[in-house]
Structure 1
Amino acid sequence: MEKEQELFASIVKKMSRHKGVKAGRMMSAPGITSGGKVFAFYWKKEMIFRLGKEFDAVAFGLKEWHLLNPFKERPPMAGWFCVPYSESRHWEELARRALKALRASGPSV
């Protein structure tokens, strides 16, 4: 297992301690869910977080990031932030923030 995958697996294990949080899938990639909704996943050696449109990556302190753009003919997905392993020191905190954002978005989670 690669170092990026190992770190992701460690974060899944830690996040699973929160009520209702478990491993899941997103776009055939391993993810983390709450209430059946994905809030973070691992894809192409990056972690992708659903942080919302109002999240300010620069103010948070990220130097490297980009919005998720899995489609050739569509714009990037607003609110989904891709963070490379070079910024992995932030992955765990971003996962917690993504869970918090998901839970704040509605009563179903």
Structure 2
Amino acid sequence: MMSSPAIHYNGKVFAFFSTKQKMVFKFGKDYPLETLSVELQEFSPFKTKRPLSGWYEASFTNKKDWETLAELSLKLAKQN
């Protein structure tokens, strides 16, 4: 995340482009993902550690949805 192109709000990252050609968004661990029409996976950048809580990635095949997901992630970031 530190070296990836990212989108910030108030100095904090809420979305970034991963090295795996995927876009990663912070929705929080309690966000109801089933309400979204996009297939997301937990973001797990480490081989031996658990996924990062509240962070989800959307594949390049869902690129058309990245803007909408970024807007949602920003909205949630503004609430915190």
**TM-score normalised per structure 1:** 0.66
2:13 aligned with 1:59: no
Classify the secondary structure of the residue corresponding to 1:81: strand
**Structure with larger Rg:** 1
Q: Where do 1:94-105 residues align within 5 Å?
A: 94-105=69-80
In structure 2, relative to structure 1, the CA distance for the partners of 1:56 and 1:87 (3 Å cut) is farther
Q: Distance in 1 between matches of 2:38 and 2:60?
A: 12
How far 1:54 sits from its partner (Å)? Answer: 2.1
Q: Which residue of 2 aligns with 1:38?
A: 13
Percent identity, aligned pairs only, is 35
Q: Which residue of 1 aligns with 2:45?
A: 70
How far 1:59 sits from its partner (Å)? Answer: 2.4
Q: Higher helix share goes to which structure? A: 1
How far 1:89 sits from its partner (Å)? Answer: 1.8
Q: Distance in 1 between matches of 2:55 and 2:48?
A: 17
Runs of 4+ aligned residues of structure 1 deviating over 4 Å after TM superposition are none
Q: Distance in 1 between matches of 2:72 and 2:30?
A: 12
Q: Distance in 2 between matches of 1:60 and 1:66?
A: 12
Aligned residues: 79
Structure 1: gaps of 5 or more residues: 1-25
Structure 2: gaps of 5 or more residues: none
Q: What are the superposed Cα offsets for residues 45-86 of structure 1, whole Å, 9 maximum, x if unpaired? A: 1100001112233321123x2111112221101210100111
Once superposed, what is the RMSD of the aligned Cα atoms?
Answer: 1.3
